[in-house]
Amino acid sequence: MMNKITLILGGARSGKSSYALCLAKKYKKVAFIATCLGLDKEMQERIRLHKESRPKHWKTFEEPKDLSRLIGKLDNGFDCILIDCLTLLVSNLILSKNTQEQILEKIEELLAVLSKKKARVILVSNEVGLGLVPVNKLGRDFRDIAGRVNQMAARNADKVFFVVAGIPLKIKACLPAGREDK
Handedness of CA 19, 67, 153, 92 (dihedral sign): positive
Write down the catalytic residue from 29, 38, 47, 50.
50
Q: Which residues, 6 or more positions from 15, have their beta carbon under 8 angstroms from its beta carbon?
A: 163, 165, 166, 167, 168
Catalytic: 50? yes
Catalytic site residues? 50
